[in-house]
Chains A and B, each alone.
Chain A
Amino acid sequence: DIQMTQSPSSVSASVGDRVTITCRASQGISSWLAWYQQKPGKAPELLIYAASSLQSGVPSRFSGSGSGTDFSLTISSLQPEDFATYYCQQATSFPYTFGQGTKLAIK
């Protein structure tokens, strides 16, 4: 199975900050990586698919990059509604493993 490792596991930041979360796959997955946002008590929502494609309706302050084994999610200017937990997931083959999550908290 492909293991996904996210870092950091938690981060504190302020409104307006730029934040980057990284995700590393244990083997190459081309560009088949997805990023999700989850708020407490809610189902996750897809933000980015195929490493860098923005899901319809997602604000342009979210961006993704990377290929192979190393990926990143960047939020260019944090908004109050962005404080949540973020997960990466490899989408190239079964099992579609998730990273352990990154909790983004208000500083």
Chain B
Amino acid sequence: QVQLVQSGAEVKKPGSSVKVSCKASGGSFSSHVISWVRQAPGQGLEWMGGIIAIFGTANYAQKFEGRVTITADESTSKAYMELRSLRSDDTAVYYCAGGRIVVEPTTMAGMDVWGQGTTVTVSS
């Protein structure tokens, strides 16, 4: 069973960038789409973007287009999410989550494995 382990909490200044990692253990995520989902305090879940490792191309929610980059390295079983030009409203818990692709290219069966979450605090 694949498990996802994320990097630790970050405190950042407005205008800076943050890069969060997500390592898969116990298996490969090559047949999965790895998504990044964030949750601001007291708010709902927000899908930011995802990447299918075997294809290597990422797709982003329009809200984050141009400000986020998601990458994956199959050789190390790691995925990364970099968010730039941070603002105070980017303060949130960021999750990586994996879902199995069932119909190519992007239909998945639901995100059945989640990282533990990484708290990113943006404050001057």
Contact B45 A44 (CB under 8 A): yes
Chain B interface, number of residues (Cβ within 8 angstroms)? 27
B residues lining the A interface (CB < 8 Å): 35, 37, 44-47, 49-50, 59-62, 95, 97, 99, 102, 106-112, 114-117
Per the bound structure, the CA–CA distance linking A100 and B43 in Å amounts to: 9
- When A100-B44, A101-B45 are in contact, do A94 and B115 touch as well, CB less than 8 Å? no
Which listed segment binds B: A11-19, A20-28, A48-56, A74-82? Answer: A48-56
Interfacial chain B residues near A38, Cβ < 8 Å: 45
Per the bound structure, the CA–CA distance linking A9 and B80 in Å amounts to: 32
A: contact size bracket? 20 to 34
Interfacial chain B residues near A1, Cβ < 8 Å: 61-62
Interfacial chain B residues near A49, Cβ < 8 Å: 109-110, 112
Interfacial chain B residues near A89, Cβ < 8 Å: 45, 47, 110-111
- Interchain CB contact (< 8 A) of A96 among B44, B47, B102, B116: B47
Contact A96 B114 (CB under 8 A): no
Contact A32 B44 (CB under 8 A): no
Interfacial chain A residues near B115, Cβ < 8 Å: 43
Contact A50 B117 (CB under 8 A): no
- Interchain CB contact (< 8 A) of B44 among A46, A48, A93, A98: A98
Find the residue from B47, B108, B117 having the highest chain A CB count within 10 A: B108
Contact A94 B111 (CB under 8 A): no
Interfacial chain B residues near A87, Cβ < 8 Å: 44-45
Least CB distance, B104 to chain A, in whole angstroms: 11
Add 12 more A-B contacts to A55-B110, A87-B45, A89-B111 (CB < 8 A): A32-B107, A34-B110, A34-B111, A43-B95, A43-B117, A46-B112, A49-B109, A50-B102, A94-B50, A94-B59, A95-B61, A100-B44
Contact A43 B116 (CB under 8 A): yes
Interfacial chain A residues near B111, Cβ < 8 Å: 34, 36, 44, 46, 89
